[in-house]
């Protein structure tokens, strides 16, 4: 051995331990990695934005004393019975199948207590969620599992799902472990098969067909229900414009941080855009068509707290939607279950093998031994608390910006901490008047 200093071992950035581990896993198993949740990358996000707050040029409203409205109307364009929610935070579509019956019940209980809506998913409508949800949005998906006119009519709104943020252009997946007798019966499939939902609707393609499809759904429901069109964050300007042209009452836009029950990791991490980049384009499409605030915009994908809600609304959204955060509120990935996560080879906070149906929290499972651990009453209470806290947080910020309604928040209330955030959100970099990409700047 020489006494001279030697070059220390150097790990590759390109071939990191994580990358090499995935190569070895693929080589050993011959199957791509499937997981739940949304993108885990560090993406440009609402964290890159700050509120400016009031000062001399604007005056704030008194916290807790002066009113700051939070309610929202959805579906005012065509529906005879638009939806009125007390708060602009809704629960995103998550299927029975992906989630247990008690988890769906808890979402209904919590959302109803907080004055907002829940949404079905790719598996039909269950009694648990209809019974416990004052306002229930019924998803109309390519698979059409469980789709029937009776449930359409007892829904409060219909959401035509074209795509979702975790996998724009991809269909759903529910692996055999979770296809229990009840799930199989609702989806009219053999028990235990790996169920792959279609990525395109079976009976329409393109915006012109979509317009006719929306007409049919309106006719079947006698023009009562608001019809949402949900798209993944891919080409938000054109998708929003085409959804409006097709006759949507509401556009739901889901960024790549939005979760899924089960999709290929390569899809989740490499297809679609972060929600921050999507909102301004969708708002611009609505403004260009003269439809901003007439067709409502709901955004989702990585909404975690009242600041995120306020930032999304300042950028022009009418409401937001939460999925992953709602599951965390129910008890998903709770460190109290660390010993059980360790047995599954993971750790609290990282658990994403929702497709395996072994969730120790009893939320993403169809195993009665697991889902019976979950208390839907307690879960509902936790969700209600969380929704109320988020709303209060958003109000706190809005009042500080001098707004007596969350919908009065505006891009002028924001600045960006990063050049990327400034360019995507279309707000100035902090301390400058520079918006990259505007006025001919690069």
| Contacts with other proteins, residue ranges (CB under 8 A) | 30-31, 143-144, 147-149, 152, 175-176, 188-190, 192-194, 196, 198, 202-204, 209, 212-213, 215-216, 219-223
For residue 34, the minimal CB distance to other proteins (Å) is: 9
- From residue 287, alpha-carbon distances to 178, 280, 299, 417 in Å are 43, 10, 16, 26
For residue 373, the minimal CB distance to other proteins (Å) is: 28
* Of 29 and 433, CB closest to other proteins: 29
* Of 204 and 341, CB closest to other proteins: 204
For residue 140, the minimal CB distance to other proteins (Å) is: 10
* Terminal alpha carbon distance of the chain: 55
Q: Which residues of 193-205 are buried (b: 16+ CB within 10 A; e: fewer)?
A: eebebeeebeebe
For residue 174, the minimal CB distance to other proteins (Å) is: 12
For residue 66, the minimal CB distance to other proteins (Å) is: 45
* Of 46 and 204, CB closest to other proteins: 204
Q: How far apart are CA 372 and CA 257, in angstroms?
A: 29
For residue 57, the minimal CB distance to other proteins (Å) is: 52
Radius of gyration of the chain from its Cα atoms, rounded to whole angstroms: 22
For residue 159, the minimal CB distance to other proteins (Å) is: 16
Smallest Cα–Cα separation from 395: which of 159, 89, 105? 89
DSSP notation for 273-293: --HHHHHHHHHHHHHHTT-BT
Task: Work out whether strand 34-35 and strand 263-264 pair parallel, antiparallel, or are unpaired.
Answer: antiparallel
For residue 196, the minimal CB distance to other proteins (Å) is: 8
* Of 148 and 432, CB closest to other proteins: 148
Helix (H, G, I), strand (E, B) or coil at 299: strand
For residue 30, the minimal CB distance to other proteins (Å) is: 4
Phi, psi for 346 (deg, rounded to 5): -140, -165
Q: How far apart are CA 231 and CA 168, in angstroms?
A: 8
* Of 195 and 391, CB closest to other proteins: 195
Cβ atoms < 10 Å from Cβ of 14:
6
* Of 20 and 188, CB closest to other proteins: 188
Element (H, E) at 371: helix 368-371
* Of 153 and 343, CB closest to other proteins: 153
Helix (H, G, I), strand (E, B) or coil at 12: coil
* Of 198 and 350, CB closest to other proteins: 198
Q: How far apart are CA 442 and CA 430, in angstroms?
A: 17
Task: Work out whether strand 195-196 and strand 173-174 pair parallel, antiparallel, or are unpaired.
Answer: antiparallel
Q: How far apart are CA 368 and CA 364, in angstroms?
A: 11
* Of 271 and 361, CB closest to other proteins: 271
Cβ atoms < 10 Å from Cβ of 149:
10
């Amino acid at each position: 051995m020489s006494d001279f200093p030697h070059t220390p071992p150097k790990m590759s950035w390109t071939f990191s331990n994580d990358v090499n581990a995935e190569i070895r896993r693929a080589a050993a198993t011959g199957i791509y990695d499937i997981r739940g949740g949304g993108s885990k990358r560090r993406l440009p996000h609402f964290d890159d934005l700050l509120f400016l707050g009031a000062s001399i040029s604007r005056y704030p409203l008194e916290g807790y004393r002066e009113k700051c409205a939070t309610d929202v109307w959805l579906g005012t364009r065509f529906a005879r019975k638009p939806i009125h929610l007390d708060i602009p935070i809704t629960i995103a579509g998550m299927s029975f199948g992906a989630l247990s019956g008690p988890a769906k019940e808890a979402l209904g209980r919590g959302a109803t207590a907080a004055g907002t809506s829940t949404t079905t998913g790719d598996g039909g409508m269950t009694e648990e969620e209809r019974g416990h949800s004052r306002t229930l949005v019924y998803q109309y998906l390519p698979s059409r599992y469980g789709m029937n006119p009776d449930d359409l009519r007892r829904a409060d709104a219909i959401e035509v799902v074209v795509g979702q943020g975790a996998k724009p252009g991809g269909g759903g997946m529910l692996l055999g472990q979770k296809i229990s007798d009840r799930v199989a019966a609702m989806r009219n499939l053999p028990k235990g098969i790996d169920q792959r939902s279609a990525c395109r609707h079976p009976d329409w393609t393109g915006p012109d067909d979509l317009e006719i499809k929306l007409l049919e759904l309106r006719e079947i429901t006698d023009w009562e229900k608001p019809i949402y069109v949900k798209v993944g964050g891919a080409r938000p300007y054109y998708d929003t414009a085409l959804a409006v042209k097709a006759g949507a009452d509401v556009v739901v836009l889901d960024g790549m941080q939005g979760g899924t029950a089960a999709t290929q990791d390569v899809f989740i991490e490499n297809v679609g855009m972060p929600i921050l980049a999507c909102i301004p384009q969708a708002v611009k499409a609505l403004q260009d068509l003269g439809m901003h605030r007439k067709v409502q915009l709901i955004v989702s994908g990585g909404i975690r707290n009242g600041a995120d809600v306020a930032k999304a609304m300042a950028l022009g959204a009418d409401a937001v939607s939460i999925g992953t955060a709602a599951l965390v509120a129910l008890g998903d990935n709770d460190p109290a279950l660390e010993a059980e996560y360790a047995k599954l080879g993971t750790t609290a906070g990282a658990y994403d093998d929702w497709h395996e149906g072994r969730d120790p929290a009893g939320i993403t499972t169809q195993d009665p031994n697991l889902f019976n651990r979950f208390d839907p009453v307690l879960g509902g209470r936790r969700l209600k608390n969380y929704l109320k806290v988020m709303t209060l947080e958003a109000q706190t910020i809005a009042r500080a910006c001098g707004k007596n309604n969350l919908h009065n928040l505006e891009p002028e209330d924001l600045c960006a901490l990063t050049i990327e955030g400034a360019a995507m959100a279309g707000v100035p970099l902090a301390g400058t008047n520079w918006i990259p990409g505007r006025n001919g700047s690069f």
